[in-house]
Amino acid sequence: MFKRVVITGIGVVTPVGNNLEDFWVNLTGGISGVGPITRFDTTGYSSKIASEVKSFNAADFIDRKEARRMDRFTQFAVAATGMAVKNAGLDMAKINRVRAGVILGSGVGGIETLEEQHKVLMERGPGRVSPVFIPMMIANMASGQVAINFGLRGCNVTTTSACASSANALGDAFKVIQRGQADVMISGGTEAPITPLAVAGFCSMKALSTRNNDPTAASRPFDMGRDGFVIAEGAVVLVLEEMEHALAREANILAEITGYGASCDAYHITAPDPEGGGAVLSMRWALEDAGLAPEKVDYINAHGTSTPLGDKLETMAIKEVFGEHAKQLAISSTKSMTGHLLGAAGGLETAVCALAIRKGLIPPTINLNEPDPECDLDYVPNIARQADVAVAITNSFGFGGHNATLVIERFTVERNI
């Protein structure tokens, strides 16, 4: 008998808020976190905008000496985990820490540390490279540091599947608990890619929006004027628990994860399958895993990156999976406000689904002023919508053809399929 898995806590460090209240108020208020890049000089860059985390001080969450030994992406993860644990009301002294683990996703890991230490190497020689360069830079260190900081001795893994990383992380954590191998899992994603080299690489690919003179309007999924995604940073971490474990401690259960699907396009290193086949598979498999008919879904948090091809193909895939019901679905892309957190996007968007279910409010897709005729579904344009959401899904699709879909449901002790 499979165990049931519930969400009991959420912690956020994002461009639209570094606490859960601000995050939700800004998302549902249609507030964009996009602005000019402040972290480095953008002279010569085609894209000069990003969705940066504001007013983050690692020392508010982590010992100063320890924080200096962490890349920014790891600092975000440890901070978000602390907030998630507090939000869950989870007393670490009272849980079995051998049955508590961590699975986080990150697409690029400690790229800021890599760039800084490469500069040291080139300018000052190999003897001046930091002795903590490697453990600061490697992508698994966010999971490792979270486990160290919270004393969690169970399964500890990092998933790296580009923009699907944290959706895969959550799916894997869900399965660990479902199989009975853990009582508690810390899961989600973290990313800090607003660096000179990373942004230059995306600029060279012509993947980023160049709407530099109007940053808050740059991320516009499903709109005719979309011209690329807006790079973003941050971390969102969720506390997942086995249902009986959560009920026994009288936890405040936010929602339940009931399904997970993962697939690959097996088509191209960056371009999506032109038939949307991989996205179709991940959605279908997630619904099958949850034991749900497509007609049961009320809301989709779309991958919706604001790229000309991606938004159109996601629309095509939704129509293929949901048929006539696609026209009844509320769909939104919160990337229109947050930008694209790359490997952390799936964690953020799973949290959005849980909150939409909990609060009966769907965040909008902002900047949707001239819908693309090929994107002809209900994308909740510009204004949040009150709605009774019992079942939501979230999609995450990444370079390399990685696709992941999660099903999130309103929690009831007696689940009716």
Give the CA distances from residue 258 to residues 233, 288, 298, 301, 322, in Å, rounded to whole numbers and listed in that order.
Answer: 28, 10, 15, 16, 18
> 333 is written with which tokens?
């892309």
Helix axes 165-178, 345-359, angle to 10 degrees: 60
> 356 is written with which tokens?
């939409």
Residues whose CB is less than 8 angstroms from the CB of residue 15 and which lie 6 or more positions away in sequence, other chains included: 33, 34, 51, 52, 53, 54, 232, 233, 234, 338, 339
Given the residues 303, 353, 375, 402, the one annotated as active site: 303
Q: How far apart are CA 132 and CA 123, in angstroms?
A: 18
Given the residues 155, 163, 203, 353, the one annotated as active site: 163
The amino acid at 308 = P
325 among known catalytic residues: no
163 among known catalytic residues: yes
Given the residues 155, 203, 340, 375, the one annotated as active site: 340
Do 318 and 218 form a contact (C-beta atoms < 8 A)?
Answer: no
402 among known catalytic residues: no
**Active-site amino acid positions:** 163, 303, 340
